């Protein structure tokens, strides 16, 4: 499949699953940045192709790199609990990351790696078209809001998101790994953000 057809025009919603699978297969061979050299496999994304709720994290850690699925380690278990806490399961939502390959030693992704990987995330957004988009931590929030403000300043609010054919409400929240490090106060904050997400989903599709 050509890069043009992968990053090209919109697909009808019913084709999103097939199209996502195609894009995932193409991403599996990606060598657009140096992270390709150290990965076990590309961790593309998981969940419902037509999800109303989509999460974007930072990048795969050790377990994700081994299993090929985002958010399956300790931080992932907390994310799963938070999702279940608002009455959903991981199968109801779509989960992706800013970078699809594990940075060595779990270091932060570099600007050129984020830039190289961004078209894959754009394609996921364009196909899933979530109504509510939750950015987990600084990297996803800065990339998708186009801001240099940090997550502690931005969380607790909601933003209009329009990009890659998607119009959504973007809810920035803390990265689950930061919550694990930060204790009760951080957990209360992330839970409050998930209550906001639940309320937004209940509000129904925008007119």
Residues contributing to the site for ligand URA (CB under 6 A)? 57-61, 64, 70-71, 73, 75-76, 97, 177
> Considering beta carbons, is residue 11 or 90 the nearer one to ligand URA?
90
Minimum Å gap between C-beta 156 and ligand URA is 20
Q: In terms of Cα–Cα distance, which of 179, 174, 176, 143 is closest to 161?
A: 143
> Considering beta carbons, is residue 71 or 194 the nearer one to ligand URA?
71
> Considering beta carbons, is residue 43 or 201 the nearer one to ligand URA?
43
State phi, psi for 204 to the nearest 5 degrees.
85, 170
Minimum Å gap between C-beta 71 and ligand URA is 4
Residue 68: left (phi > 0), alpha (psi -120 to 50), or beta?
left
What is d(CA 98, CA 44) in angstroms, rounded to the nearest whole number? 10
Minimum Å gap between C-beta 10 and ligand URA is 26
> Considering beta carbons, is residue 11 or 55 the nearer one to ligand URA?
55
What is d(CA 110, CA 56) in angstroms, rounded to the nearest whole number? 17
Structure tokens given for 191? 């839970």
CB 96 within 8 A of CB 134: no
Q: Which residue minimizes CB distance to ligand URA?
A: 57
């Amino acid at each position: 499949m050509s890069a043009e057809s992968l990053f090209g025009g919109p697909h009808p919603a019913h084709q999103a699953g097939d199209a996502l699978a195609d894009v995932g297969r193409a991403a599996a061979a990606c060598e657009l940045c140096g992270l390709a050299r150290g990965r076990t496999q590309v961790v593309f994304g998981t969940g419902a192709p037509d999800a109303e709720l989509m999460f974007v994290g930072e990048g795969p850690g050790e377990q994700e790199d081994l299993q090929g699925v985002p958010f399956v380690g300790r931080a992932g278990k907390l994310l799963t609990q938070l999702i279940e806490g608002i009455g959903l399961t991981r199968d109801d939502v779509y989960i992706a990351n800013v970078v699809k390959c594990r940075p060595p030693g779990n270091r932060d992704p570099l600007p050129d790696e984020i830039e190289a990987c961004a078209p894959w995330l754009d394609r996921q957004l364009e196909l899933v078209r979530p109504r509510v988009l939750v950015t987990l931590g600084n990297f996803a929030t800065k990339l998708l809001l186009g801001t240099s403000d940090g997550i502690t300043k931005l969380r607790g609010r909601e933003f209009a998101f329009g990009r890659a054919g998607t119009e959504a409400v973007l809810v920035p929240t803390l990265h689950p790994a930061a919550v694990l490090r930060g204790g009760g106060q951080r957990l209360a904050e992330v839970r409050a953000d998930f209550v906001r997400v639940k309320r937004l989903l209940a509000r129904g599709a925008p007119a």
